[in-house]
């Protein structure tokens, strides 16, 4: 028998003055999992998180946490913690005071507060910084204080809304690893909002990709990359995104279909031996490999990856080939048929 999900959203919808926020959001989240809500700006991922947090109330549907219907419950009654994009720290309080603030409000005994503080600072690498004010910390340290505050709350569910977007690239990578390790070590359930597919794909067990207030696909990072449900998923997930070809440029696929192919599944072959004849538009050296952009009248986003430094001149004409088993076939509406 399948265990009940720890978090369940069932047909949840939210609208403002008739304008769509989210519609028909149904999602089961197991306990101890890391779920990323991914999508472009305005897709409804933050609205979904706010509904889950109790910061907004749905117009339709139900929300359950640990078997309890919390659809209309206040945020304070949902037994969860939150980490925001803005660190939301009190500038006049020290690191220790910021971390323990919620415990103090809840009148947790001082001895227990100090034990939880030490544990949280140890986990987040902040020991020795207890007396510093937020203004004396780096961006990464401030975000770690916000994480420590979520840890001491001791809740089994933690919601994170774009927590790394204020950090530079190097810090983002470091704190990303911290968050994933924390989630595993503490066994908490994390729901994480991001527009950055690298964050979602590298951290999450399950990715929920959204567009225009609707869920497009739910699955593992591998599912979304290797078996996208539609052309939106195909183009959104992956760097570079999946190339899309009109079926008319390839024999045997009929009309009104779209064919998808990943850059790593394309090979450059001698002229006259390929399935398509293309023109090089750009070359981008990425370190371990070179990404070569290609132009063809019946294709969008076509590119090929070559190992090492393999620059090619703009305007150079080449032939490419690929195997049918690496092709993804979508119908006229962009929905997956096969591949």
Q: What is the pLDDT of residues 153-175, one digit of tens each?
A: 888 999 999 888 877 788 788 88
Question: Which of 208, 232, 256 is at the close of a domain?
Answer: 232
| Angstrom distance (rounded) from CA 84 to CA 90 | 14
**Residue range 34-55: mean pLDDT, rounded:** 95
Q: Note whether 20 and 133 are same-domain residues.
A: yes
Let me know: does 27 contact 9? Beta carbons within 8 Å.
yes
Let me know: does 12 contact 60? Beta carbons within 8 Å.
yes
**What residue has token string 């620059």?**
311
Q: Note whether 307 and 180 are same-domain residues.
A: no
What is the residue range of 178's domain? 7-232
Q: Note whether 228 and 265 are same-domain residues.
A: no
Query: Nearest CA to 207 among 35, 92, 329, 66?
Result: 35
Residue 2: per-residue pLDDT? 61
36 — pLDDT class (breaks 50, 70, 90)? very high
Q: Note whether 159 and 22 are same-domain residues.
A: yes
**Residue range 55-71: mean pLDDT, rounded:** 96
Long-range contacts (CB closer than 8 Å, 24 or more residues apart) made by 310-315: 310/283, 311/283, 311/285, 312/280, 312/283, 313/280, 313/283, 314/280, 314/281, 314/282, 314/283, 315/279, 315/280
**Residue range 287-297: mean pLDDT, rounded:** 95
| Angstrom distance (rounded) from CA 37 to CA 212 | 13
Q: Note whether 150 and 292 are same-domain residues.
A: no
Is 315 a domain residue? yes
Strands 189-194 and 34-38: parallel
Is 2 a domain residue? no
Q: Note whether 117 and 225 are same-domain residues.
A: yes
CA dihedral 171, 47, 212, 63 (to 10 degrees): 120
Mean pLDDT in the chain?
Answer: 91
1 — pLDDT class (breaks 50, 70, 90)? low
Question: Which of 173, 206, 232 is at the close of a domain?
Answer: 232
Of 122-126, 270-274, 330-334, the least confident: 122-126
Let me know: does 305 contact 264? Beta carbons within 8 Å.
yes
The proportion of the chain whose per-residue pLDDT surpasses 90, expressed as a percent, equals 65
Which tokens sit at 143? Answer: 């975000």
Has residue 336 got a pLDDT over 70?
yes
Of 51-60, 107-116, 327-336, the least confident: 107-116
**Residue range 144-151: mean pLDDT, rounded:** 86
Residue 88: per-residue pLDDT? 78
Q: Note whether 300 and 193 are same-domain residues.
A: no
Surface-to-core class of residue 108, CB atoms within 10 Å of its CB (0-12 exposed, 13-18 middle, 19+ buried): middle
**Residue range 22-49: mean pLDDT, rounded:** 96
254 — pLDDT class (breaks 50, 70, 90)? confident
Is 266 a domain residue? yes
Question: Which of 232, 267, 285 is at the close of a domain?
Answer: 232
Q: Note whether 168 and 215 are same-domain residues.
A: yes
User: End-to-end distance of the chain based on CA atoms, in angstroms?
Assistant: 32
Residue 339: other Cβ atoms inside 10 A: 16
Q: What is the pLDDT of residues 80-126, one digit of tens each?
A: 998 887 777 889 999 999 998 888 888 888 898 898 888 888 888 88
Q: Note whether 225 and 297 are same-domain residues.
A: no
Has residue 335 got a pLDDT over 80?
yes
**Residue range 193-210: mean pLDDT, rounded:** 95
Residue 109: other Cβ atoms inside 10 A: 9
**Residue range 62-80: mean pLDDT, rounded:** 95
Let me know: does 289 contact 308? Beta carbons within 8 Å.
yes
| Angstrom distance (rounded) from CA 207 to CA 258 | 24
Is 1 a domain residue? no
**Residue range 124-142: mean pLDDT, rounded:** 88
Q: Note whether 279 and 168 are same-domain residues.
A: no
| Angstrom distance (rounded) from CA 147 to CA 124 | 7
Is 169 a domain residue? yes
Has residue 245 got a pLDDT over 60?
yes
189 — pLDDT class (breaks 50, 70, 90)? very high
Has residue 78 got a pLDDT over 80?
yes
Q: Note whether 247 and 228 are same-domain residues.
A: no
Is 306 a domain residue? yes
Angle 82-88-92 (CA atoms, 0-180°, nearest 5)?
Answer: 140
| Angstrom distance (rounded) from CA 325 to CA 88 | 50
Q: What is the CATH number of the domain that holds 39?
A: 3.40.50.300
Tally of structural domains, the chain? 2
What is the dihedral sign for C-alpha 144, 146, 151, 157? negative
Let me know: does 146 contact 96? Beta carbons within 8 Å.
no
**What residue has token string 């370190």?**
287
Q: What is the CATH number of the domain that holds 274?
A: 2.40.50.140
Surface-to-core class of residue 307, CB atoms within 10 Å of its CB (0-12 exposed, 13-18 middle, 19+ buried): exposed
Provide CB contacts within 8 A for 268, sequence distance 6+.
274, 304, 306, 318, 319, 320
Which tokens sit at 34? Answer: 């890391």
Which tokens sit at 290? Answer: 């070179």
**Residue range 241-246: mean pLDDT, rounded:** 96
260 — pLDDT class (breaks 50, 70, 90)? very high
Has residue 187 got a pLDDT over 80?
yes
339 — pLDDT class (breaks 50, 70, 90)? low
More confident residue, 254 or 73: 73
Q: Note whether 31 and 178 are same-domain residues.
A: yes
Query: Nearest CA to 159 among 197, 189, 182?
Result: 189
DSSP strands (E only) in 71-128: 80-83
Of 1-15, 43-57, 59-73, 201-215, the least confident: 1-15
Has residue 62 got a pLDDT over 90?
yes
Is 325 a domain residue? yes
Chain CA centroid to CA 224, Å: 11
């Amino acid at each position: 028998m399948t265990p009940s999900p720890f978090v369940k959203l069932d047909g949840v919808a939210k609208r403002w003055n008739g304008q769509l926020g989210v519609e028909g959001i149904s999602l089961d989240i197991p306990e101890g999992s890391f779920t990323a809500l991914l999508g472009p700006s305005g897709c409804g991922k933050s609205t979904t998180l706010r509904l889950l947090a109790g910061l907004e109330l749905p117009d339709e549907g139900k929300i359950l946490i640990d078997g309890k219907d919390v659809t209309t419950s206040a945020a304070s009654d949902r037994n969860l913690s939150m980490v925001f994009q803005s660190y939301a720290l009190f500038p006049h309080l020290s690191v220790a005071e910021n971390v323990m603030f919620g415990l103090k409000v809840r009148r947790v005994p001082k001895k227990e507060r100090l034990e939880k503080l030490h544990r949280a600072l140890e986990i987040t690498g902040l020991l020795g910084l207890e007396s510093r004010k937020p203004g004396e910390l780096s961006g990464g340290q401030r975000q770690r204080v916000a994480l420590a505050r979520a840890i001491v709350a001791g809740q089994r569910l933690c919601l994170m809304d774009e927590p790394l977007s204020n950090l530079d690239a190097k810090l983002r990578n470091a704190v990303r690893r911290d968050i994933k390790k924390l989630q595993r070590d503490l066994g908490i359930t994390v729901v994480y909002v991001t527009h950055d597919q690298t964050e979602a794909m590298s951290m999450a067990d399950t990715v929920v990709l959204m567009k225009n207030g609707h869920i497009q696909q739910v699955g593992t990072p591998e599912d979304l990359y290797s078996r996208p449900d539609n052309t939106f998923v195909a183009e959104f997930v992956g760097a570079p995104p999946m190339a899309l070809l009109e079926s008319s440029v390839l024999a045997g696929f009929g009309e009104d279909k779209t064919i998808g192919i990943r850059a790593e599944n394309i090979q450059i072959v001698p002229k006259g031996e390929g399935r398509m004849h293309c023109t090089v538009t750009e070359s981008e050296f990425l370190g371990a490999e070179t990404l070569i952009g290609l132009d063809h009248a019946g294709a969008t986003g076509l590119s090929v990856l070559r190992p090492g430094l393999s620059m090619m001149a703009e305007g150079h004409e080449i032939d490419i080939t690929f195997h049918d088993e690496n092709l993804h076939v979508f119908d006229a509406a962009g929905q997956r048929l096969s591949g």
